[in-house]
Amino acid sequence: MTDGLTSEQVAKAQANHVPRRSSRSLSAILRANVFTLFNLVIGVLWVLILAIGEWQDSAFGLVIVANMLVGIIQELRAKRMLDRLAVINEAPVRVRRDGAEREIRPRDVVLGDLILLGPGDRLLVDGEVVRSDGLEVDESLLTGEPDPVHKQPGDQVLSGSFAVAGTGAFVSTRVGTDAYAVKLAEEASKFHLAHSELRSGVASFIKYLTWLVIPIGALLTFSQFQATADLRTAVTGAVAGIVTMIPEGLVLMTSIAFAVGVVRLGRRQCLVQELPAIEGLARVDVLCLDKTGTLTAGGMDLDQILPTAEHLTSYNGPADEPPTSHNGPAGERPATHNLPTGEPPASNDEPIDAALAALAHLDDRPNATAEAIRARYPAAPDGWTVRASVPFSSARKWTGADFGERGAWVLGAPDVLLRGGDSYDRAAELAVTGTRVLVLCRTDSLSGTEHGEARLEPVALVTLKQRLRPDARETLEYFAKQGVTVKIISGDNPLAVSAIATSLGIPGGDRSLDARTLPQDDPAKLGELLDTHTVFGRVTPQQKREFVTALQARGHTVAMTGDGVNDVLALKDADLGIAMGAGSPATKAVAQVVLLDDKFATLPHVVGEGRRVLANIERVSNLFLTKTFYAIALSLIVGLAGVAFPFAPRHSTLTNALVIGIPAFFLALAPTLERSKPGFVRRVLRFAVPAGVLCALAVLVSYWAAHTGTSTLLEHQTAAVITLFLVTWWVLVLIARPLTWWRAALVGSMAVLFGIGLTLPFVREFFALEPGSVTGGLIAVGISILAAILISIAVKVAGTLRT
C-alpha cells in the first residue's frame, strides 16, 4: 500500500459523496417556498373568489405568486454563492496514487485511498493507520475526550477528528455516508437551519396564528352567511378577513433577509456555512481573538539567535559578558557568535545552527516557526540522524529530537521548558517587547522532557518577528465603538501578547494573565477573571474551550476567531465560530463563518450584516403581525356581532401593499448598526398586539360612523379603508424610525400613492373606492388621528413593561 491505489482501482472504487453543508437542493428550496400551509389556504381562497366573486378581489393571489417567485430567486442566488464559495473553501486532500503524492478534492477520495496526514488536517473518512511519525489525533469532537490520541500503525481513525501533531498515513475503510461522523450527525454535514431565537420566534408566530386563524376564520365565515343572503358578498367578506389574518410575507421577508445577507457577505469572500450564523453576528458582545493569524499575519521572520549566559559560562568566558546576536544571512553561518576575543565560537563545539536546522526539518509539514527557521537554514545538516522525535503541539508548546551521538535537543517556550535562571529572565525581558521567544536546549532524555523529569541546558534564545496585520488597529477600534469587548486568547507568552495588544490600542491590553495560573475547577472564578482581564497567554486548546463556556455562562454571546488546529474546540463551542481562510482544514470545517480572503478587516462588515438582518426582520415582523392582529380583532368582533366585514379583499390588497409589502421589502434590506438583544418574540408582541387591536377598533368605528341615511356600502367601506390606511401608515412611521432621508421618502411616497389612488377614476374603480362626502372623509381622518395618538401611547407603555 506504500504506492496507494492505481488509476484503474480508483475508477472502480466507491467515492466520498457527502451533501454539502452550506446549501440545500433546488427541490428543497421549491418545497419551502411553494408547499406551505398558508399558501394552500390562500390558494383555496383564491380559487373560491375566482369562481364566485369579482376578479378584482383575487389580486391577493397574484401577490402570493410574486412572493413565491421572489423568495425562490433570492434563495437560488444565495445557493449559487454558497456553493461557489464552498468549493473555494474546500481543503484539498493529500493522497498517494500510482506511487506519487497528489492533492485531490474531498469528493474525489475513494474507498482504499492512501491518505497522508499532517498537523491541522481534518479526517474526512474513516480508516486504518499504516504509518505514524508521532501522529496525534484529536477526537474530542466525537468522544468528548480532551487529550489527543497517539496513533500507531493498525489503529483506527474516525472521520470528524483531526491531526494535531506529527505526520502519518491511513487507508480509507469507510467513505461517504458510511463514514462515522456522517452517521453520527448527518444533519451537521449538510445544509440545516440550526436553532435560533429569530427562526424559532417566527415559527412560533406561524404555529399559534394557524390555530387562531382556523376557529376565527370559521366564525367569520358563519357570521357573513348569517349577515347577508347574497352568496358573493358573504364569500368576499369571509375571504377578506381570513386573507388579512395570514402573515404571508413574514416568512418570505425573513428568507430574503437571510439570503441577501449571504450574498452580500459572499461578495466580500465571506462564506456563511450555517444561515443562523448571521443571527449570531448581530448578538455578539464578546469577541475572542487568537493572536497568531488574526492580529498577526501568517508567517514569521527569524530575527536573532542569542547564546545564553549559562552556555557562554560553560566555555570559561566572562560570566557577565552579555550574549549577543547571531544574524547571518539565509543559509550562511558566521565564524563566531560575537564572543569575547579569544573565546572559541560556540557553534564549533555546541552546534547551535546545526541543531536549529535539524529541528526545523523534522516535519514534512512545518508550522510557521519551523518555516521561519528553514528560511535561514534551507537544508538539514549532514550527520544529524533522527533516532526519536516529539512533534510540536499546542498543548506541549515544544518540539524535540534525539540525534544519537549529536545529543537530544528541544526547542520551545522558555517559560514552559525552563524553571528560572538567567535565560528565563532574559526571555521574559525580550517577550515584553512583543517579540516571540523560543529557547534551544540540550536534554539528557527526550522522554524525560515530555514528563518534566529531564535536565535541560539552555543553549540559545531564538527570537522571531511577527507581522501585525495593517488593518488590525482600525478593525479593533470599530469593535470598541460598537460595544464589543475583545479578549486576546493565545498560546504565546502573555507578556508578548500584552505588548502587541497594547501597541494596537486594545482597551485593557496591559491586563494580562498566564492561563497556567487560572483556577481549574472553579468556573465562576474563571468567569470573573475573564471579565476583568483582556489578554491571556499560554492558553491550551482545552482552556480556550473553557473560556468560551465560562463567558457564555455569564450571559455573553461569544464569537471566536482562529486559524490553527488549537482553535478548533473553542470555535465549535462558540456562539459564532469564525475561521481565517488561510487556517487549517479542521478549523475551517467547524467554523460557521470563513473569511476566505484571510482579511481581518472583513469582520466589521460581517458583524454589520448580521445586525442589519436581525434588526430589519424585527421591523418587518412588527409590520406583518400588526396586520395579523388587527385582522384577528376585526374578524372576532365582526363574527361575534354578526355584521358584514368592513372591507373587501381588494381593499386589503391595496393597503397591505402600500403600508406593509412594499415598505417591508426595503426595510428588510436597510443598513443598521444597532446590536440585537434577546427577547425578539416578546418585543414584537408588545408592539403588534396593542397596535393591531387599536387599528381594528378605529376601522370599525369609522365604518359604523359612515352609516348615514343616504350613504352606500362602498362609501362605508371606503371610510374604513381610509382609516385602515392612515392608522397602519402611522404604524409604519413608528417602525421605520429613525426617519433618515430615504426612510422618510419611502414612508411619504406610500402616502402619496394612496392619495393618487383616491383621485384617479380608474384606480378608484378597480379597487372599489367611493370617498363620499367631505364630512365623511374628515370623520375618517379624525378617527385615524385619535387612533394614531393612542397607538403611540400604547406601544410606548407596552415597551416599558417587563416580564
**What does the block give as the cell for 642?**
354578526
Q: Indicate the SS3 state at residue 145.
A: coil
Q: Which of 57, 290, 353, 567 is flagged as catalytic? A: 290
290 in catalytic set: yes
Reduced to 3 DSSP states, what percent helix, strand and coil does the chain have, rounded to the nearest 5?
A: 55, 15, 30
Query: What kind and span of H or E run contains 779?
Result: helix 774-800
**What is the rounded distance in angstroms from the CA atom of residue 633 to the CA atom of residue 714?**
22
Residues 6+ apart with CB under 8 A from 146: 140, 541, 542, 545, 569
Q: Comparing C-alpha atoms, which of 590, 797, 781 is closest to residue 690?
A: 797
Torsion of CA 522, 527, 532, 535, to 10 degrees: 90
Partners of residue 536 on adjacent β-strands = 489, 513
Query: What kind and span of H or E run contains 168?
Result: strand 162-174
DSSP-derived secondary structure for 466-521? EEE-TTHHHHHHHHHHTTPEEEEE-SS-HHHHHHHHHHTT-TTTT-EEEGGGS-SS
Contact 126, 157 (CB under 8 A): yes
Contact 655, 702 (CB under 8 A): no
- Around Cβ 708, how many Cβ atoms within 10 Å? 13
- Around Cβ 425, how many Cβ atoms within 10 Å? 13
CA atoms within 13 A on the CB side of 107: 7
Contact 555, 545 (CB under 8 A): no
Q: Indicate the SS3 state at residue 748.
A: helix
Cis peptide before 247 (omega within 30 of 0): no
- Around Cβ 197, how many Cβ atoms within 10 Å? 16
**What is the rounded distance in angstroms from the CA atom of residue 264 to the CA atom of residue 110?**
36
**What is the rounded distance in angstroms from the CA atom of residue 790 to the CA atom of residue 773?**
26
- Around Cβ 433, how many Cβ atoms within 10 Å? 13
DSSP state of 351: -
Contact 706, 782 (CB under 8 A): no
**What does the block give as the cell for 207?**
404555529
Contact 269, 606 (CB under 8 A): no
Residues 6+ apart with CB under 8 A from 744: none
User: Would you please indicate which residues are annotated as catalytic (active-site) residues?
Assistant: 290
